[in-house]
Every structure is written in C-alpha cells, then in structure tokens.
A and B are shown apart, each in its own frame.
Chain A
Amino acid sequence: MSKAKEQKMNEKYPTLPKTPTGITGLDEITGGGIPKGRPTLVCGDAGCGKTLMSLEFIIRGAIDFGEPGVFMAFEEKTDELAMNVASLGFDLDKLQEEKKIKLDHVHIDRSEIEETGEYDLEGLFIRLNYAIDSIGAKRVVLDTLENLFSGLSNEAVLRAELRRLFHWLKDKGVTAIITGERGEGKLTRQGLEEYVSDCVILLDHRVINQISTRRLRIVKYRGSVHGTNEYPFLIDEEGISVLPVTSLKLEKPVSSERIRSGIPALDKMLDGRGFFKGSSILVSGTAGTGKTSIAAYFANQTCSEGNKCIYFAFEESPNQIIRNMHSIGVNLQQYVDEGLLKFFASRPTLYGLEMHLVAMYKTIKKFKPQAVVLDPITNLITVGSVSEVKSMLIRLIDFLQEEQITVMFTALTLNTIISDQTDEGVSSLVDAWLLVRDIEYNGERNRGMYIMKSRGMKHSNQVREFVITDKGLDLVEVYLGPDGVLTGSAREAQILHEQTGEVLRDYAYNRKDREISRKRKVLEAKISSLQTEFESIEEELNKVSQEEELVKQVTDKTRAEITQRRGEKG
C-alpha cells in the first residue's frame, strides 16, 4: 500500500531531461535522446560508426535543434572529418564559419613528447573550455579520448584527469558523447565505462555468413527506460538510421475498407469485395505458378486507382518484371513514369536481413505507399534462417499494419514438399493466404488456386483454375466430374464431350417423338378401319333381322288371311 503510494509520488518528480540526438530511430529507443548535461559513452570496434554517430549528433544538434557543438577529434584531422561528412550533405566548414560547430583536432605525437615530471591535463580543459565558450556550445564530442593513453604514458595521471574531465563536463552542463574503442572483455580498452556511468551505447559490426550488419545496443541508461534489444542500423547517404522495429504492442488500427486485388474473379471469391486495407496477403505456390503475375496485377490495380505502391523485387530486375508483365497485358511502365509505382530491386545477399528491413522501412517511410509487394520472400532465406526471416517479417508486417499499408508477399514452395506449413512460417501471421498449385493431369500442367484463409470475411472454398492468357489473368471454375477435378484441356474436352452428348440426345429425342406420332397415326388408321368393319357387320346383322321380321309379318298376314277364308266357308 505504502509502496504504491511512493510510486505515485515518484511519478510526479520530473523525469530525466534528455537531449535529442536527431539520429533517426535512436531517440525512439532511448525515449527521447541521451541524458542532458551528462556524458554518454559510445563504444565499439573499429569501423562501426562511432565517429559518424557522434559527428551526426553534433551536426543535427547545430542544424535541427539550434544547439552549437564542439567536436574534439583525437584521431582524424578536421579537414578529413569535413570530407567524411560532405558525402552526407553536410558542410562543416560553413557550419564552423557560422559558429554553430567548432572542430578541434588534438594532435598527439609520441615522438615529439618527453615526459619530464608531474603534469596534468589542464591544457585540454582550457582548450575545451575555450572552444565551448567561444560558440556557446551545448553539445560536446570527444572522439576516441583513449588516444591520450597512446600519447601519454602516465596512466595514473590520465585516469585521475579523465575522472576530473567527466565531472567538469557535468558541471559545465554540456551533453557530451565520448567514444571509445572496444577492448577485450571490456566495453572500452581503457575501461572508460567506469567514469561514464549514465548512458553507454555499444555499436557492433558483425559478419555472419559473409554478410555484415551493424547493430546498436544500449548497454545502460540510468534513470530511464530504454529499448534493450540489439537494433540494426544503417549508414547511408543520409547518415545513420536506427530501426526500432519491434513494437511490443498489438494495438494496431484496423480498417474494414476493402482493396481490390486486380482480378475480378478473385475479388468475387473474397466476399465479392477483395482484401481488407492494411492487411497482409501471402501468395504461395510452386515455381512458375504465376505468383509474380498476381503480385503485378495487385500493383497495377493499386496504381490504376491513383494510389502509390512499392514493389520490392528480390529476384528479377524492374525492367524484367515490366517486360514480362507486358506479355499478359499489364503496363506497369506508365505508373513508374507517373511516379505511382516504385521498384526497389536488390539481391538478397546485398546485405543482411536486418539491413533489408531497415532499407525497406526507410523506403516505405519516404514514399508512403498504400500497398507494398515483396516478391519473393523465399529468397531472403539465403541470408538468414527460417526463424530469422520470420522474425523479420513479423516486424515488417507490424510496421506496415501500423501504417495501414496493404502488403502482398509471394513465397515459393518447393515441388517436393507440398506442405501447408512452409512459407517461412509466416502463414499464421498473414491475414489472407492464396495458394496457387500445379495440377498435373493428363499430360499437362495447369494451375489451380484457392484461398487457404482470409480472416474476417466470407470466402469461397472452391478450387478455381487460374488461367494466364495474353489478355491477363482470370479464374475459371474447374470441372468437377465423376473423374474428379478437371482442368485445362481436359476440362475443355469434357465440356466439348458434354456438348456433343447433348446434341445427340436431342436428336434421339426427336426421332422417338416422330416414331410415336407415326405409330399413333397407324393406330388411328387401324381403329377407323375396324370401326368401318364393325359398322358393316352391324348393318348385315340388321338386314337379316329386318328380313326375318318382314317374313314373319308376311307369314302372319298370310295365316290370317287363310284363317279368314276358312271361316267364310265354314
């Protein structure tokens, strides 16, 4: 109870003030930057980007945050530094003239130096102090302070003086970055970390499977929450970008808006309206089943609606894709020209997985597309293991969903393993999964497509035949006959066969009909002749009976006449 109360009280205290570094992503990991008014240690092996990172801290501070900075270089000369960052588009000379930055190169030449007794580093203090005061600096970088140890041999003095230096920097109220070369078993060769206790950032440059990746980790950050993972970072023409890609939360916005796939028949299978906006779609299939074509159709559809799309190609060059898609009636070139479609082709082995992710992240952030295509993700496996690829894709999907960007992956499944659980294990991550399969039957190979899953919508459970013609893609209902599923020419033949049968049946019906009517006619004729016969017999019979009647009448009459005559005589 009291503890909770205490915690509540603590929240009211001001949190550690921070100085934004201006380096993309680093401020997000550190929750706002490095500790304000305190020294931070940046350490790492040679060539891992310490100098660049610290220099960017100074430059960004001067340009973006209006905080002048002093860069004291113990390694490189000032003109070398200026040249190094000129490629990033920064003009150090101009910044120096404007009194926003002060570069100072500390030159220590062992051969010129003779140590003759007690000394201290007061000269460095005076120099630094003068540099800070001359431009009103708020930021200070001491690039590889440890070089002092190679120039001066009295370690005891140096250590005492370094301790004093860090205190002095704190008193001065400047935010400082001290860089240090990584030592064996220690963060820095001279154990600088014991003097700098507030924030330590470790840079790393690792080569795994011949592919190098730069990574950054915050070893410690007193008084602040920070990301603890190793984050990949990229040095490119815009400086350093760190990528805090793993979002820990699953609180993404969702949309019930629909986005069309570009194939009307497929949309029809998907509740008649297509995919959800911001969802992830996986198209998997064996080689040559038309995955790229589906992806290109999707890109085409997106662009034709006036939306932007990025196509990340890991297998084919953009021109190759454009040419190939031309053959099925998709003109992607027009959208490239209009600036709606952007191809981003790179060999998977160009850099490590993380770097791919960073590069994609940057491109997406810059271009702001509504849809993204990755073709194919399977190729990424060449630069990482399945689990690595999966974790990378998780992060990519995470990021894309946050940005409400629809993504379509294509994945190659091998002929030998027709398993539903390959696909780099992303099948459980994606929202919709289309499977394109070979159906080999009757001496030919056809494509069948079905929807494995499609979250949140009613979708067809039917296998459709996927037809690619020079007019485009279409889905045709497969023939389900007594012999099973028929596709391709077998389906055509079956249809033909059925049509023939129908004609024959019709003909047969007709003949039977005619026969019946003929029979009826014969029967009717027979009936009428019988009737005539009967009438004639009847007439005959009648005639006999009339004759008999007549005879009887005549006989009776004669008898009566005789009787009468006898009576007269009598």
Chain B
Amino acid sequence: MVEQDPDYNGLDEQQSYILRLFVTGASPNSSRAISNLKQICETYLKDNYELEIIDVYQQPMIAEREQIIALPMLLKVFPSPVRRLMGDLSDTEKVLIGLGLKKY
C-alpha cells in the first residue's frame, strides 16, 4: 500500500498514482518522454503521484520481467487497470486517457 498524501484533496481518488517510466539512457525519445511526463504530472496529478524512472540499459533483466518491448514506456501500476503507454508521451490527450484522467 502506498501512504496517503496528506496534501491530497482529490475528489475520487484516495491514493496516489504509481507510475514507472522505462527509458533507454538519454536517447531523444527518452528525454522527451521524461519532460513530457513531468509536465503532465505537474499539471494533472500535482503531488498525487509517485514516479520511478528506470533506465533499462542499466537493468536489462527488468525488461523480461516487465514485458518491455517498445521504449520509452510508461507503466501505470496503480490505480488499476494496468496500462502501458508507449512512446514519448507527446500526445497528451492519449496519455490522459491512458492514465484514466480523461474519458474518450
């Protein structure tokens, strides 16, 4: 369980988002993904998220465990359902849908 953020005052969510971003070093796609994600999180999930950025180059065994194929990939661990967001996260609309922050 993840501890509740004391500052959280959201309406529907009691717990914070758990996100993992898998990147490949400092490749252009990865850098873009990181900056895009940070921006989205700051805008829509302010202080209500835990983000872990993992460099798959550094931990190659994680690739098999996490079923990684395309990179960069953002894995939404919580809340369910688990979603995998491939790409540099430049399509904000789709990212929001993927994170469940916006309906179609």
- Give A contacts to B, CB under 8 Å: 104, 106-108, 112-124, 126-127, 129-131, 148, 151-152
Query: Would you call A117 and B24 a contact (CB within 8 A)?
Result: no
Q: How many residues of B are counted as interface, with CB atoms below 8 angstroms from the partner's CB atoms?
A: 36
Residue B10, interface by CB 8 Å: no
Q: Total number of A-B contacts with CB less than 8 angstroms?
A: 106
User: Which residues of B have CB within 8 Å of A127?
Assistant: 60, 63-64, 68-69
Residue B81, interface by CB 8 Å: yes
Query: Would you call A116 and B71 a contact (CB within 8 A)?
Result: no
Query: Would you call B61 and A120 a contact (CB within 8 A)?
Result: no
User: Which residues of B have CB within 8 Å of A122?
Assistant: 24, 27, 56, 70-71
Q: Which residue of A lies closest to B89 (CB)?
A: A116
Q: Which residue of B lies closest to A114 (CB)?
A: B98
Of the listed residues A107, A108, A114, A130, the one surrounded by the most CB atoms of chain B closer than 10 A to its CB is A114
Known: A123-B69, A127-B63. A118 touches B82 (CB 8 A): no
Q: Taking A117-B87, A122-B27, A127-B64 as given, write out 10 further A-B residue pairs in contact, using a Cβ cutoff of 8 Å, ordered by the A residue number.
A: A114-B84, A114-B86, A117-B33, A118-B29, A122-B24, A122-B56, A123-B63, A126-B60, A130-B63, A152-B70
Query: Could you give 22 example pairs across A and B, Cβ below 8 Å?
Result: A106-B67, A107-B67, A113-B84, A113-B85, A113-B86, A114-B97, A114-B98, A116-B88, A116-B98, A117-B90, A118-B90, A119-B71, A122-B56, A122-B70, A123-B22, A124-B69, A126-B57, A126-B60, A127-B60, A129-B60, A130-B61, A152-B70
Query: Would you call A112 and B29 a contact (CB within 8 A)?
Result: no
User: Which residues of A have CB within 8 Å of B97?
Assistant: 114
Residue B34, interface by CB 8 Å: no
Complex Cα gap A104–B87 (Å): 23
Q: Which residue of B lies closest to A106 (CB)?
A: B69
User: Which residues of B have CB within 8 Å of A115?
Assistant: 85-87, 91, 94
Query: Would you call B60 and A130 a contact (CB within 8 A)?
Result: yes
Q: Smallest distance from the beta carbon of A114 to chain B beta carbons, Å?
A: 4
Query: Would you call A112 and B81 a contact (CB within 8 A)?
Result: yes
Complex Cα gap A171–B28 (Å): 24
Complex Cα gap A297–B33 (Å): 83
Residue B20, interface by CB 8 Å: no
Contact of B63 among A108, A116, A126, A152 (CB under 8 A): A126
Known: A112-B84, A126-B24. A120 touches B70 (CB 8 A): yes
Complex Cα gap A113–B72 (Å): 12
Q: Smallest distance from the beta carbon of A35 to chain B beta carbons, Å?
A: 27
User: Which residues of A have CB within 8 Å of B32?
Assistant: 117-118
Complex Cα gap A118–B73 (Å): 10
User: Which residues of B have CB within 8 Å of A118?
Assistant: 29, 32, 87-88, 90
User: Which residues of B have CB within 8 Å of A148?
Assistant: 69
Complex Cα gap A199–B73 (Å): 34
Contact of A116 among B56, B60, B64, B94 (CB under 8 A): B94
Contact of B91 among A104, A116, A129 (CB under 8 A): A116
Within 8 A of A (CB), among B46-104: 56-57, 60-61, 63-64, 67-74, 81-91, 94-95, 97-98
User: Which residues of A have CB within 8 Å of B95?
Assistant: 114, 116
User: Which residues of B have CB within 8 Å of A124?
Assistant: 68-70
Ranked 4 nearest A-B pairs via Cβ: A117-B87, A130-B60, A123-B68, A117-B90
Query: Would you call A123 and B88 a contact (CB within 8 A)?
Result: no
Q: Smallest distance from the beta carbon of A163 to chain B beta carbons, Å?
A: 16
Query: Would you call A121 and B69 a contact (CB within 8 A)?
Result: yes
User: Which residues of A have CB within 8 Å of B36?
Assistant: 117
Query: Would you call A123 and B29 a contact (CB within 8 A)?
Result: no
Of the listed residues B22, B27, B69, the one surrounded by the most CB atoms of chain A closer than 10 A to its CB is B69
Q: Smallest distance from the beta carbon of A406 to chain B beta carbons, Å?
A: 57
Complex Cα gap A112–B100 (Å): 12
User: Which residues of B have CB within 8 Å of A114?
Assistant: 83-86, 94-95, 97-98
Complex Cα gap A117–B89 (Å): 5
Complex Cα gap A321–B29 (Å): 75
Query: Would you call B82 and A130 a contact (CB within 8 A)?
Result: no
Complex Cα gap A117–B70 (Å): 11
Query: Would you call A117 and B63 a contact (CB within 8 A)?
Result: no
Complex Cα gap A121–B70 (Å): 4
User: Which residues of B have CB within 8 Å of A104?
Assistant: 64
Q: Which residue of A lies closest to B66 (CB)?
A: A123
Query: Would you call B71 and A123 a contact (CB within 8 A)?
Result: yes
Query: Would you call B88 and A117 a contact (CB within 8 A)?
Result: yes
User: Which residues of A have CB within 8 Å of B85?
Assistant: 113-116
User: Which residues of A have CB within 8 Å of B71?
Assistant: 119-123, 126
Q: Which residue of B lies closest to A130 (CB)?
A: B60
Complex Cα gap A151–B68 (Å): 12
Complex Cα gap A114–B71 (Å): 12
Query: Would you call B29 and A119 a contact (CB within 8 A)?
Result: yes
Complex Cα gap A535–B88 (Å): 164
Q: Smallest distance from the beta carbon of B14 to chain A beta carbons, Å?
A: 24
Q: Smallest distance from the beta carbon of A359 to chain B beta carbons, Å?
A: 41
Complex Cα gap A284–B4 (Å): 92
Q: Smallest distance from the beta carbon of B89 to chain A beta carbons, Å?
A: 5
Complex Cα gap A345–B61 (Å): 53
User: Which residues of A have CB within 8 Å of B90?
Assistant: 116-118
Q: Which residue of A lies closest to B95 (CB)?
A: A116
Q: Smallest distance from the beta carbon of B78 to chain A beta carbons, Å?
A: 14
